[in-house]
């Protein structure tokens, strides 16, 4: 499982993704910046650093887009969302700020369920999370963002 963290600080305007990202993840930077503009977030004179860990494992694909956007929003807000530790965000972003599916989405979801040790019939799967992606969910709302969370009582 890949953990996504972000920091945002006052500095020369820049967005960097670290942690062995491949080319498609490096391109996520533009999608994330476009989404932040669509959400009317002020990113002028901000340095955004997104870390994908573990740092020694190569990451590929666009499935981390939603998680990276949420990590940046968490770092920018004064009142972060209370996101349970065992929560997985899986979705790609378009340039105009919409969540979308991606190549190999089903195997990615299956792998996440397998790592979280839950069966397909029992995960909590929902569209949207506390309204963070409400602006972005315009097409394919049933598959735009998949949130998988384990209820510790199960």
pLDDT tens digits for range 47-74: 999 999 999 999 999 999 989 998 999 9
Is a pLDDT exceeding 90 seen at residue 77? Answer: no
* DSSP per-residue string spanning 104-121: THHHHHHHHHHHTT--TT
Place of tokens 């996440």: 112
Rounded-to-integer distance, Cα 102 and Cα 94, Å: 10
> Tokens 């065992």 — which residue?
86
Query: How high is the mean pLDDT of the chain?
Result: 76
Most confident of 41-45, 110-114, 127-131: 41-45
pLDDT at 15 over 80: yes
Q: What percent of the chain has pLDDT over 90?
A: 37
């Amino acid at each position: 499982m890949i953990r996504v963290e972000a920091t945002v600080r006052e500095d020369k305007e820049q967005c960097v993704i670290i942690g062995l990202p491949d080319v498609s993840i490096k391109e996520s930077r533009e999608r994330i910046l476009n989404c932040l503009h669509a959400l009317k977030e002020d990113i002028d004179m901000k340095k955004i650093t997104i870390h994908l860990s573990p740092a020694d494992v190569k990451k590929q694909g666009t499935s981390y887009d939603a998680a990276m956007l949420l990590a940046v929003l968490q770092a920018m807000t004064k009142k972060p969302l209370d996101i349970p530790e065992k929560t997985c965000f899986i979705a790609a972003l378009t340039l105009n700020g919409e969540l979308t599916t991606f190549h190999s989405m089903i195997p990615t979801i299956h792998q996440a369920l397998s790592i979280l040790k839950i069966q397909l019939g029992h995960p909590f799967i929902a569209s949207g999370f506390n309204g963070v992606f409400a602006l972005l969910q315009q097409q394919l709302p049933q598959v735009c963002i998949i949130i998988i969370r384990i209820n510790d009582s199960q």
